[in-house]
Amino acid sequence: MKPNWLEKIWMKPSSIPGGVRVNSFQEKLFQGWHKSGQCPEATIPIRRSQEDEHSRAMHFKPRRTQLNHSFAAYHKNHEYATVYINGDNFYGASSSINIWKPTVSYDGEISIAQIWVVAGPDELLNTMEAGWNVYSDDQKTRFFIYWTSDGYHETGCYNLECSGFVQTNNEFAIGSPIEAVSSYDSNQYDIGITIYKNNENWWLQVDDQLIGYWPQSIFTYLASSATTVDWGGEIYNSKPGGSHTKTQMGSGHFPDEGYGKASYFRNIQYMDSTGNFRDAEDMGLVLYVTNPSCYNIDVQNDKDYFGNGTHVYFGGPGYSEDKCP
């Protein structure tokens, strides 16, 4: 479905959900491009794409659903370690995502940590996605967004590569590198990502800054509400069938290593029909792991550890002789 550009352009939602904080001033959100200047009023920053980036993005369309395991198995190049809630009407999702720079070993591979907001059957899947990824070519951690309204076939794209997402923040360059990344057993960094429905649009907020929105008009099933929300990691293995890739997920360490070593999602929440964010564990988080000997995920019950809110650790190193041959 093509967006109707005669629609009103919203600069902000009509109201902010309870528990979500939005700054009244513009903050330089963890990106270094501001050192070279800033965008004039009424413009937005657009990152220059590399020549092969469009074809690369098409190659990495994340074809998967946890509701149809045969569908996921068919696209065996993709591996996942996620948690999800399913079966209700959801109007938003939120979490703080720990930032790392995992090693991506082979040409054409990718490592991702993200939130998925989903509705519809596999072949017509509607999804909004946001998080960070690392490609094999430059090994940089970048913030990204994605959407589709037909199961990743014809509609949708990464970042601002097609019509769809409407950016309203002129201090944030979608697709640009994230400067502050976590170090093993040392400093930890995360970013808060919130997606919620308002004004018949799906708004994206990073930390406490509104970035823009996906118009309701570009979707079919997500025009009303989401029925599934996922949080977790994904990698693309370019050579399935032989020795497993050494591409890492998250920090490159398994969940049982815990804080400072394993990558995490904290304060995992969904928005209900009343417009309030609630702890996702209230809906019963379900684990979806395609290859636990290589990558895994673990839900933590100690909600006060990060200042209340359910959190999970996820990730893994990929290839190892004893666990992931």
Integer Cα distance of 212 and 159 in angstroms: 12
Strand 141-148 vs strand 201-206: parallel, antiparallel, or unpaired? unpaired
DSSP 135: E
Sequence-distant (≥ 6) Cβ neighbours of residue 28 within 8 angstroms: 34, 171
> Which is catalytic among the residues 79, 161, 171, 234?
234
Q: State the catalytic residue, choosing from 79, 129, 161, 281.
A: 129
- DSSP for 193-257, please give it: EEEEEETTEEEEEETTEEEEEEEGGG-SGGGT-EEEEEEEEEEE-SSTTSSPP---EETSS-GGG
Per the CB < 8 A criterion, the answer to whether 127 and 117 are in contact is yes
Q: Residue 234 catalytic?
A: yes
- The encoded tokens of residue 227 equal 């029925």
Nearest to 107 by CA among 60, 74, 153: 60
- Whole-angstrom Cα distance, residue 167 to residue 162? 12
Q: Is 154 a catalytic residue?
A: no
So which residues are the catalytic ones? 129, 234
